[in-house]
Chain A
Amino acid sequence: MSNSALFLVVLITAIFMVFAALLLAKWLAPTSANPLKGEPYECGIPTRGTSWAQFKVGYYLFAILYLVFDVETVLLFPWAVIMKDVGVQGLVLVSFFLIILALGLAYAWKKGALQWM
């Protein structure tokens, strides 16, 4: 059996589980209409303004940093598998790569992107 087919089986299992449980709950659970039930859950007074509030730029900076370092991990995995074959030469090249990234992290640190104000 190929792995891709098995992965598809697992995926379908997951979708089936959520679908079946929602269907079961629809049959079993009671429903009662009440306009106040649909209000957003807050302190008891009606919500003011839109719910899509504005956000700190801090989250955005962390997301960008994450992107850089996650792509780095993706690039390092193939090297890790053939590490024993490429030997010292590969290590030197990867160290350059890591040093450049570490400099990037140091720059972000110095600039205060890691500071939560």
Chain B
Amino acid sequence: MFHFEVVTNWIDALLREHLSEGWTLLIEFILIGVVILTVYSVLALILIYLERKVCAFFQCRIGPNRVGPFGVLQSVADMVKILLKEIIKINKVDPFLFRLACYLVIIASICTFGAIPFDKGLQAVDFNIGVFYLLAVSSIGVVGILIAGWSSNNKYTLIGAMRSGAQLISYELSCGLSLLAIVVLSGTMQLSQIVEQQADAWFIFKGHIPALIAFIIYLIAGHAETNRGPFDLPEAESELTAGYHTEYSGIQFGFFYLAEYLNMFIIAAIAATVFLGGWMPLHIPGWESFNGIMDYIPPVLWFLGKTFFCIFLALWVRWSFPRLRIDQLLSLEWKILMPISLINILLMTLLVL
């Protein structure tokens, strides 16, 4: 198997050979930053294009097809356009908080993005409390959304932010509890070790029924975390125009848009890492030649394949179901998902013991 570790170690050795310790670290830090920014923006462009195409096929349309072959450059053109749009100054907004909200939303999403293991050695931050770190950092986004709604001096944004806050904090519990079930199974919170443990079989197969329940709960709760699909109440356009980002214009709106799409990727990537084996290829015990063929596919492709499969599920749900009411939304979480995930943890413990 070809791991990206080879490339990163080679760069590290090359730099250390020619430069002193301090310069090596500095150049590596800059490289990490550049790679994260590039991958982040390219993924956002791909996801926006993918969403528009998939949505178009669900609705029997063609979707974007004018800019570039099959319209692949459409989202690049949109990005340039959004940079050229005026940033309107609204009366009576709190200028500091109004700007701070953009920063918080992007910080939450990039810091989570940095902890995702794309491949062995292709992970910026690998804490030994990885799962916990993911939950902690991704919940900064809620603060950003609440601040955005509060500081905009508009009733729509305030109501949208409050709804969004209630929804995000509620579904975060189920997310945390379903990841906890897998931590019980693996006995570690470090993401790279969680992936290593799935070399023989993915956790969704290893954990029998409780892992499957946890996976389904995680998909539902994670989908609600991204404010999309049947759970897009904070942005219900017939009631609240655009929810918490109504007053943002130009690139400031672009940040919220970017963070929303990348959060979808992050949720799918965590689901792929924790439940579907991350970059580990599919192995079936006993089928030696089959396993050998699977090893030839690069791990990065395995990871991206699983992630895009989860993203496709999210898009499928989004374009198939009508929007829920706020009481249905909250009772789904507190009366159904929450008790199930509490019992699921005990089930998982009994299974492991």
Binding site for B on A (CB under 8 A): 1, 3, 5-7, 9-18, 21-22, 24-26, 28-32, 37-42, 47, 51-53, 55, 58-59, 62-63, 65-66, 69-70, 73, 76-77, 80-84, 87-88, 91, 94-95, 98, 101-102, 105, 109, 114-116
Contacts and interface: CB of A to CB of B under 8 A. Distances in A.
Contact of B37 (A13, A59, A76): A13
Nearest to A27: B83
A82 B90 CA distance: 53
Interface in B89-142: 89-92, 99, 102-103, 106-107, 109-111, 114, 124-127, 131-132, 135
Contact of B83 (A18, A28, A98): A28
B336 to A, nearest CB: 11
B292 interface: no
A15 B89 CA distance: 22
27 contacts: A7-B114, A9-B33, A10-B111, A15-B103, A25-B85, A25-B250, A29-B87, A31-B87, A39-B91, A40-B91, A41-B156, A42-B156, A59-B165, A62-B334, A63-B169, A65-B334, A66-B172, A70-B173, A73-B176, A77-B180, A80-B183, A81-B183, A82-B187, A84-B353, A91-B350, A114-B335, A116-B330
Contacts of B32: 6, 9-10, 13
A113 B325 CA distance: 17
A63 to B, nearest CB: 7
Interface in B270-320: none
Contacts of B345: 76, 98
B189 A81 contact: yes
Main secondary structure of the interface of B (DSSP, over half): helix
Given A17-B37, A21-B251, A66-B169, A37 B88 contact: yes
Contact of A42 (B107, B150, B155, B169): B155
B9 interface: no
A5 B36 CA distance: 15
B197 interface: no
Top 10 A-B pairs, shortest CB-CB distance:
A116-B327, A14-B110, A10-B114, A38-B91, A25-B251, A13-B33, A80-B183, A40-B154, A73-B176, A66-B169
Given A41-B246, A116-B326, A91 B153 contact: no
A114 B189 CA distance: 32
